[in-house]
Amino acid sequence: MTDEVSKRARSIRPFVVMDVVARAKAMDAAGMDVVHLEIGDPDFPTPDVILRAAERAMEAGDTGYTQSLGLPTLRDAISAHHQAAYRVSLDPDDVIVTQGTSPAMLLLFGALLDPGDEVVMPDPCYPAYPNYVSFLGGVPVPLKVRAEDCFRYDADELRRAVTPRTKAIMLTSPSNPTGAIYTTDALREIAAIAEETGTWIASDEIYHGLNFSGERDHTIREYTDRCFVLNGFSKAYAMTGWRLGYLIAPREFVRPAEEIQQNFFLCANHFVQEAGTVALTQAQDDVRRMRDVYDERRRYLVPALRELGLVIACEPAGAFYVFADARRWGSDSLALSERLLAEARVAVAPGVDFGFGGEGFLRFSYATSLERLREGVDRMRRWAAS
Ligand SMILES: Cc1ncc(COP(=O)(O)O)c(C=O)c1O
């Protein structure tokens, strides 16, 4: 890349899975039949009740700007949802509605980080985290999480990774790419580390609702006030393209985050916020219905991948991903994903995309039908045999 491009822009690492998506889509367009297991985009249509709410809102003329913090009705609904889902109170004044969890990350790290501040994050993790942190002048500190530990932080290692320069610990449960869920004891322990060390927890709870453990989701807010929560409607409500999310921030950060939002994003779409309110209040049955279908796919895919010889040390219990050790097929995950696409016509995400700790792994998304999952597994079986 030319020197004319800013160092900041050059510091951003590409999200390779998006390149895999582009290549796989080009193959689709050329008439080749690719099985798509690469992307975390629900294959369900957005539930009808949400679509209708958006239509009504558009017809009623809800197409202008709203308050930067978001519609009071949606912020109230988020607060009520927290009370119902987690039994914790949430003041709507601590909620900032955003155009997805992604802009909420910019508000969070923008309001929190000064140059040189460190953020400890799991390796592997969602690839945008280190990019947000370094783009804003912070320093991402990857901490390896291992398959044998169900890809959760080891508490002693986390304690050692937190230094006086640490401003935040990133937490994702259920996790992308691993599908791991933290136990309540583990959440309590991370909360204790944050309180002992005076650091903050940035908890990305976007996969809440997609939990197959048989237990309810737990927000980090049940365990500590030293936290920010990121959440959004993309995954559990099948609303990726609508762009709606929110940040829950400690009171002293709300106004700074609002000022960033006012300048950079203005507000989330009015009619989308109306639809989001209905999603929270009227689409919980739809969320459970989709969750049960994902679970059925998960129960098919995990043993099927194990039969192919891939290693899954700890069964994923949330989100819609299986992160499998594929070193039996090759240790270079990028090369392996390229071969699977070209030779088996199965698109998957290379583990290294999520950090060096993901090298040797492949991420399989089951946000696709059982029929296509079976087809993908059959193709990989034939490919491995040849
Ligand atoms: C862990 C995690 N956080 C955030 C996002 C982005 O979500 P949104 O669509 O709300 O911006 C994703 C999307 O894949 C994700 O996996």
- Secondary structure (DSSP) of 99-145: SSHHHHHHHHHHHH--TT-EEEEEES--THHHHHHHHTT-EEEEEE-
Identify which has the larger pLDDT, 211 or 3.
Answer: 211
What ligand 1 atom has the least distance to the C-alpha of 40? 14
Domain range spanning residue 335? 7-45+285-385
Q: Give the residue whose CA is nearest to atom 14 of ligand 1.
A: 40
Ligand 1: nearest atom to the Cα of 102: 11
CB atoms near residue 164 (< 10 Å)? 8
- 204 in Cβ contact with 122 (< 8 Å): no
Q: Are 14 and 89 found together in one domain? A: no
226: closest CA among 157, 269, 291, 162?
162
Domain of 345: which CATH number?
3.90.1150.10
Pair 182, 134: CB distance under 8 Å: no
In a domain, 51, yes or no: no
* ∠ Cα 270 273 275 (to 5°): 115
Render pLDDT for 73-125 as a digit per residue (tens, 0 to 9): 999 999 999 999 999 999 999 999 999 999 999 999 999 999 999 999 999 99
Question: Does 26 share its domain with 115?
Answer: no
8 A C-beta contact, residue 166 and residue 136: no
User: What span, in angstroms and rounded, lies between the C-alpha atoms of 30 and 177?
Assistant: 29
> What's the pLDDT at 11?
83
Nearest to 302 by CA among 289, 311, 291, 290: 311
Residue 1 lies in a domain: no
Residues 292 and 264 in one domain: no
Residue 298 — very low, low, confident or very high, per pLDDT cuts 50/70/90? very high
Distance 320 CA to ligand 1 centre (A): 12
Residues in contact with ligand 1 (CB, 6 Å cut-off) = 40, 100-102, 126, 172, 176, 204, 206, 232, 234, 240, 245
Q: Is 257 helix (H, G, I), strand (E, B) or coil?
A: helix
Q: What's the 76 CA to ligand 1 centre distance in angstroms?
A: 23
Residue whose Cα lies nearest atom 16 of ligand 1: it is 176
The CATH number linked to 274 is 3.40.640.10
86 and 39 in a common domain: no
Contact assessment for residue 220 and residue 229, using Cβ atoms and an 8 Å cutoff: yes
Mark whether 322 and 276 lie in a shared domain. Answer: no
Q: Is the pLDDT reported for residue 1 higher than 80?
A: no
Give dist(CA 74, CA 270) in Å, integer.
10
Domain annotation covers residue 150: yes
Q: Residue 12's pLDDT is what?
A: 85
Q: Which of 255, 282, 309 is the last residue of a domain?
A: 282
User: pLDDT digits over 367-386, tens only?
Assistant: 999 999 999 999 999 999 98
State which of 231, 252, 282 marks the end of a domain: 282
* CA of residue 35 to ligand 1 center, whole Å: 22
Count how many domains the chain has: 2
Same structural domain, 206 and 133:
yes
Of the candidates 325, 319, 313, 323, which has an alpha carbon nearest to the alpha carbon of residue 295?
Answer: 319
Average pLDDT, the chain: 96
**Largest alpha-carbon pair distance within the chain?**
60
Give the Cα-Cα-Cα angle 226, 229, 234 (nearest 5 degrees): 170
Ligand 1 atom at shortest distance from the alpha carbon of 232: 10
> How buried is 8 (Cβ within 10 angstroms: 0-12 exposed, 13-18 middle, 19+ buried)?
exposed
Q: Which of 16, 96, 173, 176 to mutate to test the pocket of ligand 1 (most atoms within 8 A of CB)?
A: 176
The verdict on 232 and 152 lying in the same domain is yes
**pLDDT for res 223:** 98
If you measure from the C-alpha of residue 127 to the centroid of ligand 1, how many angstroms do you get, rounded to a whole number?
10
| Residue nearest ligand 1's atom 7 by CA | 101
pLDDT digits (tens, 9 = 90+) for 301-316: 999 999 999 999 989 9
The backbone torsions φ and ψ at residue 25, rounded to the nearest 5 degrees and listed phi first, read: -70, -35
What is the distance in A from the centroid of ligand 1 to the CA of 45? 18
Nearest to 216 by CA among 86, 89, 321, 316: 86
Distance 381 CA to ligand 1 centre (A): 31
Q: Which atom of ligand 1 is nearest to the CA of 319?
A: 16
Task: Let me know whether 241 and 343 are in one domain.
Answer: no
Domain boundary among 261, 282, 303: 282
Within-domain flag for 79: yes
Q: Is residue 125 located within the same domain as residue 214?
A: yes
Same domain, 80 and 161: yes
Element (H, E) at 248: strand 245-248
- 89 vs 187: CA distance, rounded Å: 18
Mutational test site, ligand 1, from 41, 102, 246, 363, max ligand atoms within 8 Å of CB: 102
